[in-house]
Homo-oligomer: A and B are copies of this chain.
Amino acid sequence: MTVTYTLVGLPSGRRGQVARGTALRPALRGLGIGIESICAENATCGKCKILVEEGSFAEYGVVSKRAHLSAPQPEETEYFERRRDLLSRRGWDLGRVRLACQAKLLGDVVVTVPEESRADRQIVRKSATVRNIEIRPSLRKYLVELMPPTLENPRADWSRLACGIATSMALVRSGETGLPGPRDLTIDHACLRRLPDVLRQSNWRVTVSIWQDRQVVRVEPGLTEQLLGAAVDIGTTTLALYLCDLTTGETLAVETDMNPQIAFGEDVMSRIQFCSSRPDGLHQLHKSIIKTLNQLLLRAVASAGTSADDVLELVVVGNTTMQHLFLNLPPMHLGAAPFAPVTSGAVDIKARDLGLATNDAANVHMLPAIASFIGADTTGVLLAEEPHLQDENWLIIDIGTNAELVLGNRHRLICASTPTGPALEGAHIEHGMRAAAGAIEHIRIRDDTMEPEWKLIGEDDWGAGRPKGLCGSGVIDAVAELLRVGVVDRSGRFAQDVAAEGRIRNGADGLEYVFVHAGESSTRSYISLTQKDVRQIQLAKGALFVAAQSLLDRFGIESPDKILLAGAFGSYINKANAMAIGMLPQFDLERVFVVGNAAGDGARIALLNWDKRREAVPLSGRLTRHELPADPEFQDRFIRSLAFPAR
């Protein structure tokens, strides 16, 4: 008869009866508590640390003692001896912390599984709702130790490694079905070329990185733990790259820049025309985006103290035109009716085929697009915000050079796209700039003195630092404040009769309001908002407003339950001011949520969780595209929406 003991895993408190002599790692997995490992239970990787709780746990009917586990063998003792530093940092006693792959059950015991050891780690994302994102990347690492070849067994390096991996995978992930055998594994050719040297230099002990449980993409000497990827959001005007640790979910570095394709045309149509009008047009646009993304990547890895060779996967989102240009696909047919893209499904392609500076064998995943003008960036928004799981009706507005709007709930979702121009991203504004250090991100005008106050990106205090220009959120604040204090009237005109001494002047483009005098700026030039700037904002917010209204009409409701404002502003916009200038229909401010770069967040989620990529495919097919009307009545509504709302 098998002797069994009670095992309790904290913090979840799951418990069960386990046969005497079972190691804790498989025993805990039996209770539904997954524990990390990459070393095939060899007491080498230390991923499976647990803490033994001592005492009487009456609620479980258990008296727990360290002695109820098998004594540490020399490998385990040695492992912890060499890591005294780490234990003292964590405040863990030597002896209380054990490796779950080594410690065997000899009596009732209660253990705590610390977050860092859990296989089902999560990161928390807070937006309109709080939710957990499970870390389940498409890459995993395994430590593999091989017998070197001999004259009796001179089998090929790759067959030898493939067998070792299959064994290590089976041990690390025992109980999981559908794991590949050595015959199903493949190895990237670039990785294969380096294999013989790495195996011999490391004395046949290597860490392999496996993509999607099927292809070896990297082999490193000895035990290595770092596993990196990047999420990329390609906007028409701005680019953002997030360098992420794929095991912790942590974002190690964020780099942003202007899209260099602006030099070839400011909106998607002008870039499509550039491709149509020149034989090397596509080549130029493709090369320019790849070059800048490589710069962002190199900056990010430098600031994280790692190398581009460590980056093994990229997840990319963008609008359909940006998707085509990034993938080097001709976008010409997006430029004329019926606006058919070349491809709209999810794409996996080797980074080297696009000239990216990541590891040679890295994969690039592009999320699927939704419709001709609703790209993978909107799919990213859906993954980040999950309107398709809500009972309420949500209206999500993703603001960029084009704005995409999604409206609906778990039963029905519709979407639309409208060009707004780059003004809301700080571009095409006289003293605009992208959201970067030195940009004015927030502005207010004092009622008493009519003097402006500003806050810069990268500074904690109002008024600190020397401004460079206005980013998108600063522009919105500027317009809202000028409207509030009466410098700009509801029609968008600068009022001449306002007492704002030395602030209103006649510039090259008519009247302008000076927020920063030349002496205060870092550029030695004054910073103002001009009449022309106000007109740009009016056009942009008018387009947003009528698009949202048209979507609500089509859906058959007067108002959504929540509004989510997304966009790669860099800084969060002031939702009250966005409402004040009429970017949104009149709405309870409490139910407006500013959610930052949701498209980029969606790319990060798809990078950290492979399942989400698979969910994205049917999800992207669930939306109904709503074509904004082109009739005179709609145009009339647009013109009427240009005026600012009454206060």
Q: Chain A interface (Cβ within 8 Å of chain B)?
A: 149-151, 153-160, 187, 189, 192-193, 195-197, 200, 327-330, 332-333, 337-345, 349, 353, 369, 371-372, 627
Tell me which residues across on chain B come within 8 A of A340, comparing CB atoms. Answer: 149, 154-157, 160, 196
**A160, closest chain B residue (CB):** B340
Question: Please, which residues of chain B bring their CB within 8 A of the CB of A151?
Answer: 337-339, 627
Cα separation A406 to B576 with both chains bound (whole Å): 84
Which residues from B are CB-within-8-Å of A327? 189
Q: Are B344 and A156 in contact (CB under 8 A)?
A: yes
Q: How far is the CA of A329 from the CA of B196 in the complex (A)?
A: 9
Are A150 and B349 CB-contacts (below 8 A) given A193-B329, A343-B156? Answer: no
Contact A342:B154 (CB < 8 A) given known A197-B330, A330-B193, A332-B196: no
Cα distance, A342 to B158, chains bound together (Å):
6
CA distance A341 to B149 in the complex (A): 10
A333 near B196: Cβ-Cβ < 8 Å: yes
Instruction: Tell me, in angstroms, the Cα distance from A156 to B71 when the chains sit together.
Output: 63
- Specify which chain B residues have a CB less than 8 angstroms from the CB of A157 in the assembled complex: 333, 340-343
Give the residue of B160, B193, B343, B372 whose beta carbon is less than 8 angstroms from that of A158: B343
List 12 interface pairs A-B (beta carbons < 8 Å), by A numbering: A149-B340, A151-B338, A151-B627, A153-B338, A156-B341, A157-B333, A157-B340, A159-B345, A189-B327, A192-B342, A192-B343, A197-B330
Q: Is the CB of A159 within 8 A of B344?
A: yes
Contacts of A369 in B (CB 8 A): 156
Q: Are B193 and A338 in contact (CB under 8 A)?
A: no
A280 to B369, CA, bound (A): 44
Query: Using Cβ atoms and an 8 Å threshold, which residues of chain B touch A353?
Result: 189
Report the minimum CB–CB distance from A554 to chain B (whole Å).
Answer: 16
Nearest B residue to A282 by beta-carbon distance?
B193
A147 to chain B, nearest CB (A): 11
Interchain CA distance A337-B151 in the complex, whole Å = 7
A328 CB contact (under 8 Å) in B193, B328, B339: B193
Q: Shortest 8 CB-CB distances between A and B: which pairs?
A: A156-B344, A158-B343, A149-B340, A154-B338, A156-B341, A149-B338, A151-B338, A154-B340
Given contacts A149-B340, A151-B337, contact A158 B345 (CB under 8 A): yes
Q: What residue in chain B is nearest A329 (Cβ atoms)? A: B193
Please, which residue of chain B has its CB at the minimum distance from the CB of A187?
B343
**B342, A195: Cβ atoms under 8 Å?**
yes
Nearest-Cβ distance from residue A565 to partner chain B, whole angstroms: 29
A155: min CB distance to chain B, Å = 7
User: How long is the Cα–Cα vector from A157 to B160 in the complex, in angstroms?
Assistant: 43
* Also in contact, A338 and B150, with CB within 8 A (given A192-B343, A193-B330, A332-B196): yes
Q: Which residues of B contact A342 (CB under 8 A)?
A: 156-158, 192-193, 195-196
Write out the residue numbers on chain B whose beta carbons fall within 8 Å of the beta carbon of A333: 157, 196, 200
Given A340-B149, A353-B189, A372–B196 Cβ distance below 8 Å?
no
Residues of B within 8 A of A192 (CB): 329, 342-343
Residue of B nearest to A332 (CB): B196
Measured between beta carbons, the chain B residues less than 8 angstroms from A153 are 338
CA distance A192 to B343 in the complex (A): 8
Q: Which residues of B are found within 8 Å of A197, using beta-carbon distances?
A: 330
Q: Which chain B residues lie closer than 8 Å to A344 at the CB level?
A: 155-156, 158-159
Contact B195 A156 (CB under 8 A): no
Q: Which residues of B contact A200 (CB under 8 A)?
A: 333
CA distance A65 to B192 in the complex (A): 64
CB closest chain-B residue, reference A162: B345
- In the complex, how many angstroms separate the beta carbon of A456 from the nearest chain B beta carbon? 43
Question: In the complex the two chains form, what is the Cα distance from A157 to B334 in whole Å?
Answer: 11
B193 and A154 contacting across the interface, CB-CB below 8 Å: no
CB distance from A41 to the nearest CB of B (A): 27
- Say how far A326's CB is from chain B's closest CB, in angstroms: 12
How far apart are the CA atoms of A638 and B277 in the complex, in Å?
Answer: 74
A122 to chain B, nearest CB (A): 30
A417, chain B: closest CB distance, angstroms: 13
Partner of A154, one of B154, B156, B187, B372: B372
Docked CA distance A566–B341 (Å): 54
Q: Chain B contacts of A195 at CB under 8 A? A: 342
Q: Give the most central of A156, A157, A627: most B CB within 10 Å.
A: A156
Bound complex: CA A154 to CA B192 (Å): 42
Q: Which residues of B contact A328 (CB under 8 A)?
A: 193
In the complex, residue of chain B having the shortest beta-carbon distance to the beta carbon of A627: B151
Q: Which residues of B contact A159 (CB under 8 A)?
A: 343-345
A340-B149, A342-B196 are contacts. A349–B156 as well, Cβ < 8 Å? no
Give A333 to B345 CA distance when docked, in angstroms.
43
Q: Which residues of B contact A338 (CB under 8 A)?
A: 149-151, 153-154
Given the complex, which residues of B lie within 8 Å of A193, measured CB to CB? 328-330, 342
Which of A193, A196, A340, A349 has the largest number of chain B CB atoms within 10 A?
Answer: A340
